A and B are shown apart, each in its own frame.
Chain A
Amino acid sequence: MRISKIALENYRQFRKLAIDFPQHMSSDLHLFVAHNGTAKTNIINAINWCLYGDEPYLSGESQQLPILNQQVMREIGDTGQADVIVEVYAVVDKDEQIMFERKCTYVWNNKSAPMRHEITFRVLVSDTKGNTQVLVDDEASNYVARSIPLGIREFFFFDGARLDNYFKHTTAENINSAVLKMSQIDLLNKVSDRLTEVRREIEKEVSKGNPTIEKARKEYEDVQNKLEELENRVVKEKEQVEIAENKIGTYEDELKSCPNAEELEDNRKALKSRRVTNQEQYDKLMSRKCESLFEYGRIIPLVPALLKTDEIIRAKHVAGEIPPVADVSLLDNILATNKCEICKRSLDSNSREEITKLRQLILMSSTIGKELMQIEGIVTITLDRVNRFSRDIEDISGLISNVEKELTQIQTNIDSIDSQLEGQNIERIKNIAEERRKFEKIRDEKNRLIGRFNKEIEDKQDELKDKEKAWDRETKKEQALKSLVNERDACFRIANVLNKCRDTILIDTRDKIRIKTKEIFFSLLWKKHTFTDVLIEDDYRIRVLNDLGYDCLGSLSSGERELLALSFTLALHDVSGFDSSILIDNPVIWLDPEHKHNFSNALAKVSKNKQVILLFHTDEYTPAISAILDSEAATRRRIKLTAQEKEVVLEVL
Chain B
Amino acid sequence: MKGALNPKIFRELNKETEDDVELRQLLTDLLFEESSRTGNWWYKDFYRKIVKAYAQKVSAHENK
Contact = CB atoms under 8 A, between A and B. Distances in A.
Contacts of B51: 195, 198, 202, 487, 490-491, 494
B58 A486 contact: yes
Given A483-B55, A486-B56, A147 B4 contact: yes
A19 B41 CA distance: 40
B13 A494 contact: no
B21 to A, nearest CB: 13
A54 B31 CA distance: 30
A187 interface: yes
Interface residues of B, number: 35
Nearest to A486: B55
Contact of A146 (B1, B9, B55): B1
Contacts of A95: 3
Chain A interface residue number, banded:
35 or more
B22 to A, nearest CB: 10
Contacts of A194: 34, 43, 47
A241 B12 CA distance: 80
Interface string A66-107: 000000000000000000000000001111100000000000
Contacts of B52: 483, 487
Contacts of A96: 1, 3
Interface in B36-57: 36, 38-39, 43-44, 47-48, 51-52, 54-56
Nearest to B10: A501
A189 to B, nearest CB: 10
Nearest to A578: B6
A253 B64 CA distance: 72
Nearest to B26: A494
A497 B17 contact: yes
Contacts of A579: 3-4
B13 to A, nearest CB: 6
Contact of A501 (B12, B39, B43, B55): B12
Contacts, number: 108
A191 interface: yes
A497 B54 CA distance: 14
B23 to A, nearest CB: 6
A486 B12 contact: no
A576 interface: yes
B55 A487 contact: yes
Nearest to B7: A577
Given A96-B3, A486-B56, A500-B16, A187 B23 contact: no
Given A188-B9, A486-B58, A490-B54, A501 B16 contact: yes
Q: Which of B5, B43, B54, B55 is the most central at the interface, judged by chain A CB atoms within 10 Å of its CB?
A: B55
B10 to A, nearest CB: 9
B16 A497 contact: yes
A321 to B, nearest CB: 133
A190 interface: yes
A139 B36 CA distance: 11
A502 to B, nearest CB: 8
B58 to A, nearest CB: 6
Contacts of B30: 191, 494
A93 B3 contact: yes
B56 to A, nearest CB: 7
B44 to A, nearest CB: 6
Interface in A542-590: 576-579
A577 B12 CA distance: 13
A493 interface: yes
A493 B22 CA distance: 12
Contact of B6 (A198, A494, A577): A577
B27 A494 contact: yes
Contact of B8 (A92, A94, A505): A505
B55 A498 contact: no
9 contacts: A1-B4, A92-B4, A95-B3, A142-B38, A142-B39, A184-B5, A494-B54, A497-B23, A505-B12
- 4 smallest CB-CB distances across A and B, nearest first, come from A93-B3, A577-B6, A142-B38, A501-B12
